[in-house]
Structure 1
Amino acid sequence: MSLTFQIFFIYCLPFIIVLILFKSLFSSPKPHKNLPPSPPKLPLIGNLHQLGSSPHRTLQAMAQTYGPLMLIRLGTVPVLVASSVEVAREIMKTHDLIFSNRPKSNIVSKLSYGSKDIAFSQYGEYWRQIKSIAVLHLLTNKRVQSYRQVREDEMALMIERIREAHESVVNLSELLISLTNNIVCRVALGRTYEGKNFKGLLERFLELLGSFSVGSYIPWLTWVDRLSGLERRADEVAKEFDEFLDGVIKEHINKKEVGVETQDFVDILLEIERDNSTEFTLERDAIKAIILDVFSAGTDTTFTHLEWAISELLCHPQTMKRLQQEAREIGQGKSMITEDDLDNMPYLKAVLKETLRLHAPLPLLVPRESTQDVKLLGYDITAGTQVLINAWAIGRDCSTWEEPDTFRPERFLGSPIDYKGLHFEFIPFGAGRRRCPAIQFAMRINELVLANLVYKFDFALTGGEHLDMSESIGLTVHKKCPILVTTTPCC
């Protein structure tokens, strides 16, 4: 149990008892509404105490009792939980506009320049403008392709590092973190930042983004976040990142002109700011917030996807063998598989899809919030209701997937189902207006890295044939234990 939770239960119980009595004496009856099924809850804290360390698993179990459209309370906040294809489609397609807002969070606001980023900003004109900048200037097909050399260079360096290890134990998780961090740094900032200080800062930033804030769900207990040190840590990390980004921006302003083909994200955003080339005035804090989005969404989720994919392959030797066979037929003795080869590797793509189905990096996606009252499948949903879409549970729904808990990439061979938000049984990147805009950017990294790892090396687990597949919960769901292997070069 986290320090915030401990303080919450130790210091708040007397207040809760008093308020329960007060509420029972003075509350007035409310007009009847047809609300979705709800599990029993405690006064004031609602169902907070039930979530546990793996909320996606807990909510899946609760949905089996109360249904795929379930209303819970987290503190004073009503939260709608969607756990089926039908409900997800209603929220993210039929009523997508109504459910396109983001709930406010004090901690997220501190870390993202007042929620000026793409992921957490409120739905409206500001969000539309910055998303448009990202989609039209940073993440176009042409722009993603322009960073091909960065991806291939960093992949070649990783291959060399593994080769240098010879037969000693390799911490593959650590190498994957370094690889994704280096690619994102070079694309976004123009060069790598590999020092312990930067990596530690990024780790603290991601940890805080995934932290539990009492004040977000029980506003009158915001002081608990201060007492636990959560707000102080958020302020410190925000300040450190701001200073770091100030330095990065200063470097870019002072450097000599670069060609369009060699521009990184900071170059592009500063050019938009300087030339005022859009109808929208891009402020400096918005530039920093967008860059932070790249790190929080790009580095962590990409690394997590790769780590789970390799873990599943290590647990399923026959699947590994089939993927290696595909890679080696494509590679044909070349020094490495290039991005030109990837479209001819259907089994590779199937492995990555199956990994996303079983291990969605953000199992509950990013929370949404309704902007107005709405009827949803016959139930009354009030404005201001938060929404959690359990993509993890939907990906394991036995009514949709045959043998849903089994890792079987073959299910995607010849299947039209994709992760781009059109098939609601498979939504690891979300769907609708708030779908992740960087899918192509992330998947190009994942395809290139996994293809080359299985092409260049055979892997053996250390300490026997068992790999610990337990989860570590945070903003994203990582493996709890790193992947430790010995490697044998194959070509």
Structure 2
Amino acid sequence: MADLIKNYMSISSSLLLLLITSIFLLQTLLSRRARRERLPPSPLRLPIIGHLHLLGPILHQTFHKLSTNYGPLIHIYVGSVPCVIASSVDMAKEFLKTHELSFSSRPVSAAVHYLSFGSADFFFASYGPYWKFMKKVSMSQLLGGRTLEQLQHVRREEIHQFLRTLLLKSNDGKDRVNVHAELIRLTNNVITRLTMNRRCSELDNDAEQIRELVEEVVELTGKFNLSDFIWLCKYLDLQGIRKRFEVARAKYDTMIEKIIKEHEEDKKKWMRGGEAAKDVLHNLLDLSGDNDNDNDATAIKLSREHIKAFILDLLIAGTHTSAITVEWALAQLINNGHVLEKAREEIDEIIGKKRIVEESDIPKLPYLQAIVKETLRLHPAGPVVIRESDEDCTVGGYHIPAKTRLFVNVWAIGRDPQHWEKPLEFNPDRFIDDRLSKVDVRGQHFHFLPFGSGRRGCTGTTLALQVVQTTLATLIQCFDFKIMGDDTNAKVDMKEGEGVTLPRAHPLNFTPVPRIHLLPILN
């Protein structure tokens, strides 16, 4: 028995030694290759998993820690997928402007590929004819100024309904409200009405159906899937994710097919007796059957799958990002009472208390706009811009191979002390200052990239700003916010949660206390 144990320990020691030697040799070979190709600096890489052992649950925070040790441009392997992380203004400009064409594609995960009907998705489409056509029609017809102006009444009605809900739930200041849930409901209703002319509560008489679906899809598309990154697991579903997105797509397909058929019936009625106001889905159906497109060399014939994928893009992108931005702004205002008071003074002076802030009032409220900018600087809804290289190129003197995944850490750049004075302080006044007053959110200034930059910057920026700024302004105007009873010194926890859209670790809850007579105005 003793000899058996002795032999077992000897074999185990030999295997351990072999494993350590293999890792050392592999690391040596990889280091030589990196020096030969002049790849960016990189931490120690392990076989199979690459640098997965270094990544925490909140990616932008992990990337920031790595960049403080290895520099503004580093090279890592997430499993077997090569990646570069850019964490400075200069590197962001190199990738997103100087070498923009080389990084104009987005990587597609298994969940995204399946949920977006294969290659039908616009948001993740490769940079080519289909993407260019959809970008063009999105900016001119689907999400352009004229369409958004025609549907302005939708946003106003939903914000007023949101205010009514808070007023009812305030119950003389006794009940705490889950503001996160109410904001998600608001933005969901705005997007579903803009896209399908439906409120969530009207979809199959089930108010939770579309919200639950969006929540599920957001989780699935942002969840780390071993099959996407480790080649040994490519055809395995170890986490059960594939089964979940199959169920989610079937659910979405049933719902959207029903709504498309109803829109097609609308079109037949309009052909017989005049047109009513069109939503985004009506416009997409028009594009899919537009004979005029046959004479346009750049036009793409839209399939049913293209339409379904585009609507899903809008539901996902338009719901969570806007709601979370308003939630972060409210949390910062509660913790910075002097900023909240200054914003109220501006609104009371310009708007008064006898009517509710409208979208058309926002240009007259520069401090309100500064609050939104400062919120987006500290809490960008897309904390990491993700791209993929289409070709080999040289950036910052380093070789970047084709099919390398790019992560631009927008969150870290917005907190860079080289470009922001007291970067961790919530100070909207910085955007009133002459030096920063002209800094725009649309990606022209590379130290401030809340909506990305360039060709693949966010298509829905205008809509997002309209919803965020007007919603926040009405909340500031209409309510006081009580966190813990009568404790005026209570602070909101500002910890970040896991997810691709920078959620809060703990949903915001407060008691809304009306500060103006809302009922006569809302009725």
Tell me the TM-score range normalised by the shorter chain: over 0.9
Matched, 1:270 2:277: no
Residue in 2 aligned with 1:430? 452
Give SS of 2:477's match: helix
- Cα deviation for residue 276 of structure 1 reads 3.7
Q: Alpha-carbon deviations, 1:11-65, whole Å to 9, x = none?
A: xxx9x9699579859x897581111111122122111121111110111011011
Unaligned runs of 5+ in 1: 1-13
Q: Is the 8 A contact 2:443 2:453 kept in 1?
A: yes
Q: Is the 8 A contact 2:388 2:406 kept in 1?
A: yes
Matched, 1:36 2:40: yes
1:403–1:110 Cα change, 3 Å: same
Q: Alpha-carbon deviations, 1:251-288, whole Å to 9, x = none?
A: 11112329777211100000111224432111110011
Give SS of 2:102's match: coil
Q: TM-score, normalised by structure 2?
A: 0.87
Counterparts of 1:377 and 1:47, CA distance in 2: 22
For the aligned residue pairs, the C-alpha RMSD in angstroms reads: 2.3
- The AA in structure 2 aligned to 1:267 is H
Give SS of 1:56's match: helix
User: Which residue of 388, 403, 418 maps to 2:422?
Assistant: 403
User: Which residue of 321, 327, 336 maps to 1:316?
Assistant: 336
Give SS of 2:262's match: helix
User: Which residue of 228, 231, 250 maps to 1:239?
Assistant: 250
- The AA in structure 1 aligned to 2:270 is E
Q: Alpha-carbon deviations, 1:280-314, whole Å to 9, x = none?
A: 11111001111011011111111111111111111
Counterparts of 2:19 and 2:254, CA distance in 1: 45
Give SS of 2:198's match: coil
Q: Is the 8 A contact 2:225 2:239 kept in 1?
A: no
Residue in 2 aligned with 1:374? 393
- Cα deviation for residue 145 of structure 1 reads 1.5
Counterparts of 2:379 and 2:394, CA distance in 1: 31
Residue in 2 aligned with 1:9? none
In the TM superposition, structure 1's runs of 4+ consecutive aligned residues that sit over 3 Å from their partners are 16-25, 27-31, 258-261
- The AA in structure 1 aligned to 2:176 is V
Counterparts of 1:245 and 1:22, CA distance in 2: 54
Q: Alpha-carbon deviations, 1:409-450, whole Å to 9, x = none?
A: 011114111111100000011001110111001100111101
Q: Is the 8 A contact 1:20 1:43 kept in 2?
A: no
Counterparts of 1:19 and 1:212, CA distance in 2: 30
Residue in 1 aligned with 2:507? 482
Q: Is the 8 A contact 1:104 1:216 kept in 2?
A: no
- The AA in structure 2 aligned to 1:439 is T
Matched, 1:473 2:498: yes
Matched, 1:222 2:234: yes
Unaligned runs of 5+ in 2: 1-15, 202-206, 294-298, 517-523
Q: Is the 8 A contact 1:146 1:261 kept in 2?
A: no
Counterparts of 1:17 and 1:239, CA distance in 2: 45
User: Which residue of 260, 278, 297 maps to 1:249?
Assistant: 260
How many pairs were matched up?
Answer: 475
Matched, 1:326 2:346: yes
Q: Please identify the structure whose Cα radius of gyration is greater.
A: 2
Q: Is the 8 A contact 1:338 1:448 kept in 2?
A: yes
Residue in 1 aligned with 2:477? 455
Structure 2 counterparts to residues 149-160 of structure 1, below 5 A: 149-160=153-164
Q: Alpha-carbon deviations, 1:133-189, whole Å to 9, x = none?
A: 211211111111112111111111111122222312222222111111110010011
Q: Is the 8 A contact 2:41 2:70 kept in 1?
A: yes
Give SS of 1:257's match: helix
Identity %: 37
1:348–1:22 Cα change, 3 Å: closer
Counterparts of 1:272 and 1:257, CA distance in 2: 16
Residue in 2 aligned with 1:190? 197
Counterparts of 2:494 and 2:125, CA distance in 1: 34
Structure 2 counterparts to residues 58-457 of structure 1, below 5 A: 58-165=62-169, 166=171, 167=173, 168-194=175-201, 195-224=207-236, 226-255=237-266, 256-257=269-270, 262-278=277-293, 279-365=299-385, 367-413=386-432, 414=434, 415-457=437-479
Q: TM-score, normalised by structure 1?
A: 0.92
- Cα deviation for residue 104 of structure 1 reads 2.9
- Cα deviation for residue 69 of structure 1 reads 0.9
Counterparts of 1:239 and 1:329, CA distance in 2: 52
1:19–1:96 Cα change, 3 Å: farther
Counterparts of 2:499 and 2:108, CA distance in 1: 19
Counterparts of 2:122 and 2:417, CA distance in 1: 34
1:344–1:260 Cα change, 3 Å: farther
